[in-house]
Amino acid sequence: MRPFVQMRSLALLFAGCVWVATACAQSDAPDAESRPDPQQMSIDRIETIIGRVDENYERNQNNIIFTFADYEILLVSDPAADRMRVMIPVNPADALDEEELLRLMQANFDSALDARYAIANGMLWSTFIHRLSSLTEEDLLSGIGQTINTADTFGTSYSSGELVFGGGDSNELRRKELIEELKERGQKAI
C-alpha cells in the first residue's frame, strides 16, 4: 500500500465540509413528491458497489474509504448538493515545480479525461467528480479506474486510460519522450 499523508484527517476534513454544505442545503430539501427516483445513485448503492470492489471498506456517513490496486481511495458524496467525488492523494503539492504544474494542466486538458489532477490541503490529488443523481455503476467504476490510472501515471504519461483528446499537447510530448528514451537506450548499447 502506498503511504498517504493524513488520509484519515483529510477524510474528516472533507466530511466536515460536506456536513456543513448539507446542513445549509437542508432548508431547501425537496419535498416527498420531488425527491429523486430510488433507482438513482445513492451513497447506499455506491456502498454496495464498493463492497464488491473491497469488502474491507470503511463508511462514515456519506464517505467511504476503500482500497483497490494498492491505492487507498476516498469517496465523498453530498446528496443534498447532488455531487460525489473519488480522490486519491498523489504527492505533496509543495514538491511540484513549475514545469510539473504546467504538465498537470496539459494532462487535465487531453489525457486525464474524466479524472483530473487537483490541489487541495497541500496535496496533489487524482480525482473524479460527478453528479450523484445521473451517476451509473459504469460511470462510477470507470471513474475509479481513471482516478487510479491518473494517480499511477503521475510523472510519466499523466493519463487516465488509453484515450487522449487529440487537440492537446500530451501526444506530442509523449512522442518526444519516446524518442528521447530510444536515443538513451541506443546510446547505452554502444
Which pairing describes strands 71-78 and 63-68: parallel, antiparallel, or unpaired?
A: antiparallel
**According to the model, what pLDDT value does residue 111 have?**
87
Q: Are 127 and 85 in contact (CB under 8 A)?
A: yes
Q: What mean pLDDT value characterizes the chain?
A: 78
pLDDT of residue 157: 87
For residue 74, give the C-alpha cell. Answer: 476516498
Comparing 25-34, 38-47, 51-60, 122-131, which segment has the lowest mean pLDDT? 25-34
Least confident of 20-24, 146-150, 164-168: 20-24
Task: Mark 103-127 as b/e (b = at least 16 C-beta within 10 Å).
Answer: bbebbbebbbbbbbbbbeeebbbbb
| C-alpha cell belonging to residue 178 | 519516446
| Residue 73 pLDDT greater than 50, yes or no | yes
Confidence category of residue 7, pLDDT binned at 50, 70, 90: low
Amino acid code (one letter) for 7: M
pLDDT band at 163 (very low <50, low <70, confident <90, very high): low
Q: What confidence score (pLDDT) does residue 40 get? A: 82
The answer, yes or no, to whether residue 53 has pLDDT greater than 50, is yes
